[in-house]
Amino acid sequence: MLKQLILENWKSFRYAELPLDQLTVLIGTNASGKSNVVEAFEFLQRIARGENIEAALAGNKTLTSIRGGVEWAALKPETEFTLKALVEGNDENTDYLYSITVQTKPIVQILEETIITQIYQDKNHEITTQKSIISDSSISVKYPHKKRSISNIKGIQGESMLSKISKFELNDKTFEDINLITDVFDNILVLNPITFEMRGYSPLSDNLERNASNIAGVLAALDGEQKTEVESTLSAYIKDFPEGDIKKVFAEPVGRLKTDAMLYCEEEWKPGEIILIDAKTMSDGTLRFIAILTALLTRPEGSQLVIEEIDNGLHPSRAELLVRILREIGSKRKIDILLTTHNPALLDALGPEIVPFVVVAHRDSETGESKLTLLEDIDNFSKLFASYSLGDMTTKGAIERSLSRNE
């Protein structure tokens, strides 16, 4: 699991720390930096999957560009950025701090990659006893009484060593540590359902795409028992979403070769009258809702799910239903969720218990740089909370006014 993300000279951020929990909520006005945070997760996922650093930023034939590409990856006028991620170890007393520094000018290249093993002696003191240093040309693994080095690795310039580590002979513990980090990054899904992409046929697939375009293929490709369970859970939760009653949601292979699939649902608007419809006629809100549910139900346990503007297409009256789903399925399947939202109804539905896990993205009034501040760390938060609900704080601009007074 990811426990923290640190941004240094990344896009609009000079320096910021984002704590991550089972459910973390990122709020902020337009252009405050929320999307820049989301794109940091996407960058880490791409390099863990072996993408070239430049392609991970600028895109290629199969990848869309991260907004601004290479040109705007580093905070102007800087020419390099650093991303760090704190990853939970298998041992409850151990974490791993991964760091990558990338130069964007005059050429795009990795300047440094490090993994620091952090072992906690107690709750208040942190002791680092092991350090792994990774670079484009060598791997050095340093332990208290020994050092191992592999040099002259060819053909990996511009690619993170996270995806290459299995090719080299390392001791079992070192391989396991680095492989754990790679798996955590690989299991990040930045979900942004594009409904018109979800309406057509899609090939049978193992993993949901970020735009959910292959949702039918993912559901149809599940094995018999898992498919029954997932579709049953989908149907149970979604029956309360529309005004009418959706009895069943499912996907089936289509065509002579059965290599593509279509998403269907059965609706009952009049008692006893069941209507079968496919994704081409489903509402945008229904499709987005199904996409979020499908991601929660099909991602590997331990995944990080990032959902930007989760409230798009969501009627305020359905906010409590969505919150219940996020909490119930996320907890049951051990999936951590980071969501961004502007929806006051959703914030109110999350309730006061979410306060410690709400982070505010905002801009420094003098420098224009983005910052991240825990909601409860705002100086006069206790007064705000006594006067407003979470939703009212956002609609009335109370948070922004308090932050501007603190600067």
* Span 25-73, pLDDT tens digits: 999 999 999 999 999 999 999 999 989 999 999 999 889 999 999 999 9
Residues 229, 224: Cα–Cα separation, whole Å: 9
Residues 253, 203: Cα–Cα separation, whole Å: 9
Q: What's the token pair of residue 370?
A: 């983005």
Residue scoring higher pLDDT (396 or 80): 80
At 118, the pLDDT band (50, 70, 90 cuts) reads: confident
pLDDT at residue 166, rounded to an integer: 57
Determine if residue 36 is left, alpha or beta; phi over 0 gives left, psi from -120 to 50 gives alpha, anything else beta: alpha
* Span 303-349, pLDDT tens digits: 999 999 898 888 888 889 899 999 999 999 999 999 999 889 999 99
* Contact assessment for residue 36 and residue 28, using Cβ atoms and an 8 Å cutoff: no
pTM: 0.89
10 Å Cβ neighbour count for 134?
A: 22
Residues 382, 272: Cα–Cα separation, whole Å: 53
* Contact assessment for residue 148 and residue 141, using Cβ atoms and an 8 Å cutoff: yes
* Residue 105: alpha-carbon gap to chain centroid: 28
Long-range contacts of 99-106 (CB under 8 A, 24+ apart): 100/47, 100/160, 102/53, 102/73, 102/74, 103/79, 104/57, 104/70, 104/71, 104/73, 104/74, 104/79, 104/80, 105/79, 106/79
Mean pLDDT confidence for 244-259: 89
What 8-state DSSP symbol labels residue 104?
Answer: -
Residue 130 has pLDDT above 70, yes or no: no
pLDDT at residue 154, rounded to an integer: 39
